[in-house]
Amino acid sequence: MTFMKKLYRILNNKTIIGNLILLGIALLYLFQTTKLPSVDQLDETFFSASTLPILLSLSAIFFVLLQLFLSFRKNEDLRLTGRELQWRPLFFLGLLMIGYAALFETLGFILASISFLFFAFRILGGKKLFLNFIIAGGLVFFMWLLLSRAFNLHLEAGDLYRWLSGG
């Protein structure tokens, strides 16, 4: 089998890719474990802050390598079957969630949440913009009433509101 074919098989194998990700995480974890600060008194203690992390990382690396070994040995056809999935909604929803987290403190709970829901409805195919707005606004208002009035929870008002109100 040519190198390119082998590489293609690897990149299309869910098990291999997943295990490579886990291997990366385990190696990073082990690396960070070696950098754990030592406390003087802990030098006299058998069980320190790094004892369990070392055990976990080495065990995780062992199991992941075992799986990789078995996956490379067996010619499993576990292709990444992404064709039946739509990646566009995920991309835009992901961006929307990032935007929501980034602007939450600026816009405040109400404005950020209404915007999030409105655009999310649109991304998933809600074409009636007015309906989207009414549903988003109604739900957020209901949540605001429930959380801030009924449960007495403080919800972020937002820098924008504070700026506009001169606070």
Partner 1 sequence: MLDGILFGLQTTFTPINLLMVFVGCFAGTFIGMLPGLGPVSAIALMIPITYGMAPASGMILMAGVYYGAVFGGSTSAILLNAPGVSGAVATAFDGYPMAQQGQAGKALSIAAYSSFFGGTLGAIFLIFLVPVLAKLSLSFQSSDYFALMLFGCTAVAAFSGKGQILKAVSMTFLGLMLATVGEDPSGVQRFTFGISDLYDGISFLLLSMATFALAEALIVAMRKPSQQTKTEIATLHSLKLSRDEVQEIAPALGRSSLLGFFVGILPGAGATIASFIAYGIERSLAPLHLRKKFGKGSNRGLAAPEAANNAASSGSFVPLLTLGIPGSATTAVMLGALLSYGVQPGPRLYIDYPGIFWSVIISMYIGNVILLLLNLPLIPYISRLLMIPRQFLLPIILFLSLMGVYLVSFNSFDLWLMIGFGLAALVFRLLDFPLAPMLLGFILGGMMEDNLRRAVLIWDDSFAFLWQRPSTAALVALALLILLSPMLLEIKSKLSGRKRQQQD
Binding positions for partner 1, rule: CB under 8 A: 14-15, 17-19, 21-22, 25-26, 29, 32, 36-37, 39, 42, 45-49, 52-53, 56-57, 59-60, 63-64, 66-67, 70, 73-75, 78, 80, 82, 84-87, 89-90, 93-94, 97-98, 100-101, 104-105, 113, 116-117, 120-121, 124-126, 135, 139, 143, 147, 151-154, 156
Least distance from partner 1 to the Cβ atom of residue 110, Å: 12
The two three-digit tokens of residue 130, written as one number: 């007015």
| Contact by Cβ (8 Å): 82, 101 | no
Least distance from partner 1 to the Cβ atom of residue 164, Å: 20
Rounded Cα gap, residues 60 and 24, in angstroms: 11
| Contact by Cβ (8 Å): 54, 32 | no
| Contact by Cβ (8 Å): 118, 132 | yes
Burial class (CB in 10 A: 0-12, 13-18, 19+), 116: buried
Least distance from partner 1 to the Cβ atom of residue 14, Å: 4
Rank residues 86 and 166 by Cβ distance to partner 1 and give the closer one. Answer: 86
Rank residues 46 and 166 by Cβ distance to partner 1 and give the closer one. Answer: 46
Least distance from partner 1 to the Cβ atom of residue 4, Å: 21
Rounded Cα gap, residues 43 and 41, in angstroms: 5
